[in-house]
A and B are shown apart, each in its own frame.
Chain A
Amino acid sequence: MRTRIIAKLDVKPPFVVKPVHFEGLRKIGLPANLAKKYYEQGADEVMYIDIVASLYQREILFSEIEQTANELFIPFGVGGGVKTIDDFSRLFHAGADKVVINTYAVQENPNIINQAAEIFGNQAIVVNIEAKRWDNGWECYTDCGRIQSGKDVIAWAKEVEQRGAGEILLQSVDYDGRQRGFDLELAKCVVEAVTIPVVVTSGAGKLEEIKELIDYAAPSGVAIASLLHYDKYTIQDIKAYLRNNGIEVSK
């Protein structure tokens, strides 16, 4: 089984930004340019998350999505501020292959997951979980780690699977943007709690840490942002390292 290596773009339109621990933002570049760059480097997928759409209660920018999708011949996931079946539909028409939902499903209407899965197929529905450590487990957050939900991450992961999500994008509020490694326990617990694929993000600082995550938690994919944005490594570098260390990845 080839572990997917995914390039993740956190977008505060019009720029891809790098949130540091979900707070400070650094501008990195334009989404269309970066998507193309990571595609050419060999990314298995590109994920585009509008990190402020939900917070500012405004719509996703469809023209930006379309522009970014144009040069990609790999799957393109899009999320941020998704609330209605019409949002899903418009994003698919703008070139998204998967749509990522978080805030609205957690805070207001988890049933949107069921509806979307029945119409678009569960493979196209990704639920983003932002997890922060609490007591003996983790709590779900929304709006990029700003708002607590009171929901337990493991219970919510099982619930979204039940409701028809095809994949989980798992973020750690504690580890995101710090480049000091992943929350390995979180990853392992969520991967083991569900039968759908789990893509883990937040924390890659060194190649060794990506290998450690895959060995320990066996996620279906790893989504990478900072490591790529600062040209510390290319996707080829990451894949070559993993391959040389016995982890199966695509060409």
Chain B
Amino acid sequence: MSQLIGLINYGIAGNIHSIKKAIEKAGGTVKIVHSKEELESVEKIVIPGVGSFKDAMKELENAGLLEALKDAMGTKPTLGICLGMQILSSLGFEYGKTAGLNVINAEVKPMLVNAKVPHMGFNAIKIIKPNRLLFGLENEEFYFMHSYEVVNYTDITALTDYAGHQFVSAIQKDNLYGVQFHPEKSRDAGIQLFKNFIAL
């Protein structure tokens, strides 16, 4: 039976089309979610993210999704992608200080690295704490496209090395999952990650 995955659509930012395509390729059925009511009918949630932390939080609030999303995440497995993972944190520092969804104890700060930023391109993940989302994906390469990183110490599932700097590339807390990379832009490894998410 094909389960319904709710893809949160907030604001003008973002190419959610490519996430929808990738989930469908992995065998999932996608419902684009714009409202609280639409959120109720889905079994799992994917939070995409292109844009800035500040804009993303503002748009979620404008769409009336902020509280509803926090409630739904308590019971429905949720995957945050890139900025979608970052906004799970308590606090973000992009274009000023902004409160996040505050479901993961973390802050989002500019990458401090002696190399080109944004960190852009394929890079490997090193699994620190195996889980079902990352099953079979050890050392696989995923596409990264970000200038900020999640600073967290308790919920890390994978790290990535960029020019000698280790940063958090995946997190999990209960049924909340986050990946800093873009599985929808990461060839077969990314499709496999969506398959794993569907199988949760």
Contact = CB atoms under 8 A, between A and B. Distances in A.
Interface in B23-50: 25, 50
B120 A220 contact: yes
A121 B120 contact: no
Using C-beta atoms within 8 Å of the partner chain, give the interface range for chain A: 35 or more
B118 interface: yes
A121 B121 contact: no
Contacts of A198: 116
A18 B194 CA distance: 37
Interface stretch (B61-69, B129-137, B141-149, B169-177): B141-149
Given A167-B120, A221-B121, A97 B185 contact: yes
B145 A123 contact: yes
Interface stretch (A68-76, A181-189, A200-208): A68-76
A7 to B, nearest CB: 14
A118 B115 CA distance: 22
Nearest to B49: A121
B171 to A, nearest CB: 20
Contacts of A196: 116-118
B15 A96 contact: yes
Interface in A113-127: 118-124
B121 A220 contact: yes
Interface residues of B, number: 38
A123 B111 CA distance: 13
Nearest to B22: A73
Nearest to B16: A93
Contacts of A232: none
B123 A2 contact: yes
Contacts, number: 108
A74 B21 CA distance: 12
Contacts of A195: 116-117
B51 interface: yes
Interface in A74-122: 74-76, 89, 92-97, 118-122
B112 to A, nearest CB: 12
A74 B115 CA distance: 23
A61 B122 CA distance: 29
A251 B12 CA distance: 33
Nearest to B187: A73
B52 interface: yes
B74 interface: no
B18 A95 contact: yes
A76 B141 CA distance: 17
A92 B50 contact: yes
Contacts of A72: 18
Nearest to A124: B50
A96 B83 CA distance: 17
A4 B122 contact: yes
Which of A1, A122, A221 is packed against the most chain B CB atoms within 10 Å? A1
B128 interface: no
Contact of A75 (B14, B145, B146): B145
Given A70-B21, A166-B147, A123 B121 contact: no
B13 interface: yes
Nearest to A90: B12
Contacts of A166: 118, 120, 147
B186 interface: yes
A220 B15 contact: no
A119 B55 contact: yes
Which of B22, B25, B55 is packed against the most chain A CB atoms within 10 Å? B55
Given A120-B13, A121-B13, A250 B121 contact: yes
6 contacts: A73-B21, A92-B50, A97-B182, A121-B51, A123-B118, A196-B116
| The 10 nearest A-B residue pairs measured at CB | A250-B122, A123-B118, A197-B116, A123-B145, A4-B121, A92-B15, A121-B51, A75-B185, A166-B118, A197-B120
Given A73-B22, A97-B50, 5 more contacts: A73-B25, A73-B187, A73-B191, A119-B51, A167-B120
